[in-house]
A and B are shown apart, each in its own frame.
Chain A
Amino acid sequence: MNPWRKVQRALSALFQKRTLDAEMDEEMRSHIEMRAQEKIAAGMNPEEARYAAVRQFGWLESTKDKCREQRGVRWIESLAQDLRYGTRMLWKKPGVTIVAALTFALGIGVNTAMFSLLSPLLFQRAPYPNSEGLVRVYRTSPQSQDSSHSLADFLDHREQNRVFEPLAAYHAEGANLGADGRAAQRVTAIHATDRFFEMVGMHPMLGCVFTAEESLPGRDRVAVLSHRFWTSHFAGDTNIVGRALRLDGEPFVVMGVMPATFEFPALWGEPEIWRPFVIKPEERGDRDNRYLNMIGRLKPGVSLTQAQAAMTSIAARLQQDHPHYAAGSGLRLVSLEDSLRPESARRSILFLLGLTSCVLLIACANLANLQLASLNGRSRELTVRAALGAPHQRLVRQLLTESLLISLLGGLLGLVFASFCDDILSKQLGTGFKAVLDVHVIGFALICCLLITIAFGTVPAWFAAHVNINETLKESVRGATGSRSQRRLQHLLIIAEIALTVMLLTGAGTTIRLLQRFARLDPGWRVDGLLTAEVALPRSKYPSPEQRNAFWAQLEERLITLPGMEGAAFSDDLPITSFWNTRPLRIEDRAAPSPGDAPLVSCPTVSSAYFQTLGIGLLQGRFFQSIDRLGGPLVAIINQTMARHFWREQSPIGKRISIGDPANPQWMEIVGVVGDVGFPADAGTDTRMQVYRPKAQDEIGTGALIIVRTSAASGPAANTLRRAVSEMDPDLPVYSVTTVRQSIDGRMRSNYLIFGLLGAFGMLGLILAAVGVFGVTSYAAVRRTREIGIRMAFGAQGRAILTLFLYQGVRPGLIGAALGLGGSIAVMRILDSLIPSGSPMRDPATLAGLPISGWAVALTAAFVLVVVTLLASYLPARRAAKVDPIRALSYE
């Protein structure tokens, strides 16, 4: 049959149902008539003949129903019928419907909110054409899986590989943007090799991008603007191409503007400017400074595995030629898409989603219980329908439709709830995180609804539909108390609910305890009262290290005389999340470590007042002094952990160490040992070995972090600081002005929020579970009031009845708690695996390899829930045991 006719038939089946049904009825009646005529002709009397004909035809309605099914649109009809009927049933008992929908909304809501927060991390894609061909290349070493490359390494790989077309490199740098008549501004510029934009696959929106020609020294005074910078700083001026800019005091020409779709903070950050990366001939052989990020586009037909093999073999060749530089390292190729969602982030996400899904499951168990209970009240209705010939599957489908209606209603409310949560979350988290309801999130909520309906609606529906017709019809008017298997199912649900809640509370509680531990950790320096700002001296104006040092010294002098300033220091880093600069260490008089095995130390460069300003104590020797300057003997101060590690009980003062290239040591004398510092904003960072070098002996760095300790409020203090700098050089922008406390809180905010959410989820789960367990247990007990009456009429003591009820009520509670404790061990294990070993966040007190605090939380949760079940069975039983047996007997 052609499709058009099929549609036509389907439509007529749907919309001319009455006519079709009437015709069918007439057809079958005429059949019966003819049969009767036949029998009369054979000599039967008319009355009997009609009766026999009808009987022979069988059940008319059932046959009609089967015929209707042949129309092919039967499912639409019955769905419509189910929906109509379901809506009517839900409408008839609004209390149950509202409670169920709200329970569900809470469960779906928290999950959806959490998922919308995390879905960018799971589904984020690069916004570039054919982005699946983009591959990032990391250098691996025993210390790190994703470090950068030296220029010489990059050039070798670019020349020798046959798998990328092209392979590019880039790195970010700050620059001072001078503007006529406006305050100087600090911008981020990404220096990228030629063919970079070609590799990404994007074209400029205005003008053009730089090529190999602009990458030659002296030809590189060009810049490509990011869309964001173009709109914010130049108000989207379309005549911008060809305009001159001043970067670090030198003139640059705007070459082009990239489109908004080129921006991708997850990969590049938010640079204002793109500049050609210049390969200076004298730096071509530099394998020491590893600062380049490598990214490339695979040639068509080349797989990631092939590319990995090709690049690894190049690296192996390099390792042979330059054993010292490349030893112990390798290359790791990761597709751009995968690099955006690292394994560790994915694991944490799954952990969090796992915990929130516990809330949902608890809500679902409540729903299933609620449904079971309300089905008890409907068993007569269902039985009658089954007795009238409704097939089981039809009843199951009817009940499932009802569950689906509830869950969709709840899901809708849940989405509203989630979007409300998302607003709060987005506000709290600020930039970087965005919680929005997108296609993924709504899809997630819908799938949740469907899965839950199937998982938690099917079982009660199956039970209800498979009633024993005879039994139920014979039972007295008071209705069924629920079959044995149904009670068992209720117990199972209680057990599951309790187990899940214990697990949820353990997960949430342990995480919160971790955070508290962390917040109480002493970082080893006084975090409050510190204000920081950054200043970078352009090389054009301050070419020599002497000039730069003179500037810093003068600025320090100025700062400490200003009102409210208690101390001022300079450094290139603060121990907030980690020290960025780590280098291999070598100790004089000890064997040089084999290549690649050298221990890594952090090596911040600090001014002499740094330790006093931060409040780091001196343990041995001295701080840096004015004699430690350029040209003088190189000195260093190390931290306590490092002193203990290498010199045990001996004094390290006077020993000489070198950092950087172990083959070409630059010996520095250790003049002091200071206390350890911790990293208040990064729970994962371990206290490492630290080598402080005096800023006065720094020949390379041009910028500095200004740190002042002040008793003034941060606003006025920041102004004082800005004024002090601009009085010395009005062209210098002071940027990233903030208090240390703000930087820490800013970095910790998302953590605090997630942990706060977990706490809220834990409470929510507990409340849901308590309400659910209490409701079901006490309902079951109330329904047994009659039974209590009978027992008492036969002489049972109130005490014996109480004991019986307590025992029966608390048994599922105990089983659930035991299972929950088992599950909690798994939860703690997972959490444990997420914290790096040696992290100060780890609880030193453990039992069976797991933190004592975790056990305490798990046991408390288990205890609370057992108490809930005890109360839930005790209260109704006591009430029943107190009443007169006669009244108990006539209950219901």
Chain B
Amino acid sequence: MEQPDLLQGTLDMLILKVLSRESTHGFGICQRIQQWSDDVLSVGEGSLYPALYRLQDQGWIESEWGQSENNRRAKFYKLTKAGRKQLDVENTDWEKMCLAIRRVMKSA
């Protein structure tokens, strides 16, 4: 299936959104995004991990080592307070953007 490219910055928002529901590891984030988008979106590891490290550097998410469902050592990510605020900001921006794009597309 042809994968639509994720808009620049939307990946960050999706990661934050996933982590706002539950703390999970990188693989978990990939799975959630794929599941929740009904297999439309799939995040490549090549962009997921740099994004995770970037968000962590910004202080929006934190990480700690823990046990995965099948007892494997894995790094779990969770949202920080700042991350929660950032998610709100990105959510609002995203709404505005969608509205704007829809208006443009309907105008013709």
Contacts and interface: CB of A to CB of B under 8 A. Distances in A.
A34 B74 contact: yes
B57 A70 contact: yes
A58 B74 contact: no
Nearest to B69: A34
B24 to A, nearest CB: 11
A9 interface: yes
A419 to B, nearest CB: 46
B73 A26 contact: yes
B17 interface: no
Contacts of A63: 45-46, 49-50
Give the interface SS of chain A, mostly helix, strand, loop or mixed: helix
Contact of A72 (B44, B49, B57): B57
B50 A66 contact: yes
A7 to B, nearest CB: 13
B32 to A, nearest CB: 13
B99 interface: no
Interface in A664-696: none
Interface string B24-53: 011100000000000000001110011011
B68 interface: yes
A30 B53 contact: no
A854 B27 CA distance: 78
Contacts of A455: none
Contact of B46 (A26, A30, A66): A66
Contacts of B74: 27, 30-31, 34
A58 B25 CA distance: 18
A23 interface: yes
B67 to A, nearest CB: 11
A31 B27 contact: yes
Interface string A349-374: 00000000000000000000000000
Given A71-B57, A72-B57, A34 B27 contact: yes
Contacts of A27: 25-26, 49, 74-75
A47 B74 CA distance: 22
B62 to A, nearest CB: 11
In this complex, the member of B25, B50, B58 whose beta carbon has the largest number of chain A beta carbons within 10 angstroms is B50
B82 interface: yes
A74 to B, nearest CB: 11
Give the interface SS of chain B, mostly helix, strand, loop or mixed: helix
Contacts of A57: 45-46
In this complex, the member of B49, B56, B70, B73 whose beta carbon has the largest number of chain A beta carbons within 10 angstroms is B49
Contacts of B25: 27, 30-31, 34
Contact of A58 (B45, B72, B75): B45
Contact of B58 (A1, A23, A37): A1
B61 to A, nearest CB: 11
A46 to B, nearest CB: 14
Nearest to B58: A1
Interface in A56-88: 56-59, 62-63, 66-67, 69-72
Contact of A56 (B45, B53, B75): B45
Contact of B49 (A23, A26, A37, A66): A66
In this complex, the member of A23, A63, A69 whose beta carbon has the largest number of chain B beta carbons within 10 angstroms is A63
A71 B53 contact: yes
Contacts of A31: 25-27, 45, 74
A33 B73 CA distance: 11
Given A31-B25, A34-B72, A9 B57 contact: yes
A264 B45 CA distance: 70
Interface in A22-46: 23, 26-28, 30-31, 33-35, 37
A579 B52 CA distance: 83
Contact of A5 (B44, B59, B68): B59
Nearest to B57: A70
Given A1-B82, A56-B45, A58-B45, A30 B68 contact: yes
Nearest to B68: A34
Nearest to B46: A58
B53 A67 contact: yes
Contacts of B82: 1
Nearest to B29: A31
12 contacts: A1-B57, A26-B75, A27-B25, A27-B49, A28-B49, A30-B68, A31-B26, A58-B44, A63-B45, A66-B46, A70-B53, A71-B53
